[in-house]
Amino acid sequence: MIEILSPGQLAQARVSGALVADILTSLRDRVRVGTNLLEVDGWTRSMIEDAGATSCYVDYAPSFGRGPFGHYICTAVNDAVLHGRPHDYALADGDLLTLDLAVSTGGIAADSAISFLVGSARPAGSAELIDATERALAAGIAAARPGARIGDLSHAIGTVLTAAGYAINMEFGGHGIGSAMHQDPHVANNGRPGRGYKLRPGLLLALEPWVMADTDRLITDADGWTLRSATGSRTAHSEHTIAITDDGAEILTQSRRPS
């Protein structure tokens, strides 16, 4: 089912989106060399609870994971890229960390992910991975407006990732969002312009380009959740929830503080 939000639901989506952005920004500010991923999960839980919001993750048990996720945020380090399950690991200087968070307030969800380097070390190739996913996300958002089709967004995202030299995995991509975190339509990270569902005002989409440095193949970690690059190479992921408006798209999970 494709959900078109009412003006009231869209107002609620803005509240959820701002909360997701605020939590990700404070986590990014707080993470240091030596921070444990389980601390990040605990901080996230506190911020969600203090806001009176609901985690979209803790009880989530989709077919692509083993049982309920059981945590409040996805933490993916280096070769881990999607659904990174927080575990007992202290971050090291130069680790490439992805934080992916979805919460719901008043029954409407928002979803966003950021990738950044921990500490001051700058390992070769890492900034380029992050930059490619951020530019692909911006291109996808720029293509989003009423009348555009899902394939236009997929094509815009895929063009940037391909030009940056990355092979694109088509198993996981963006998605509709609203009353539930994962809804139709699927937004692949590559595709053909002019194809697919035609966007309408009130549609909420989570766009989420992600890449692995030298492969398009994923392997599943022994934890049954965390997806890693098959070669052990580094990865990055950027995601925003956007609302299709009368004249374009509004980013609901934009941080209000510079990063």
Provide the binding-site residues for ligand MF3, judged by CB under 6 A: 57, 60, 65, 69, 74, 83, 100, 102, 111, 113, 208, 239
Q: Which is nearer to ligand MF3, 69 or 166 (CB)?
A: 69
Q: Which is nearer to Co ion, 35 or 207 (CB)?
A: 207
User: Residue 72 touches which of Co ion, ligand MF3, none (CB < 5 to 8 A by kind)?
Assistant: none
Q: C-beta of 181: minimal distance to Co ion in Å? A: 7
Q: C-beta of 121: minimal distance to Co ion in Å? A: 29
Torsion angle, CA of 183/189/193/194, rounded to 10 degrees?
-10
User: Residue 191 touches which of ligand MF3, Co ion, none (CB < 5 to 8 A by kind)?
Assistant: none
Give the bridge partners for 97, in sequence order. Answer: 77, 116
Q: Which is nearer to ligand MF3, 95 or 100 (CB)?
A: 100
Residue 168 and residue 132 in contact, taking contact as beta carbons nearer than 8 Å: no
Q: C-beta of 122: minimal distance to ligand MF3 in Å? A: 26
User: Residue 141 touches which of ligand MF3, Co ion, none (CB < 5 to 8 A by kind)?
Assistant: none
Query: Could you please report the per-residue DSSP string of 80-130?
Result: EEESPPP-S-B--TT-EEEEEEEEEETTEEEEEEEEEE-SS---TTHHHHH
Structure tokens at 79: 């070769």
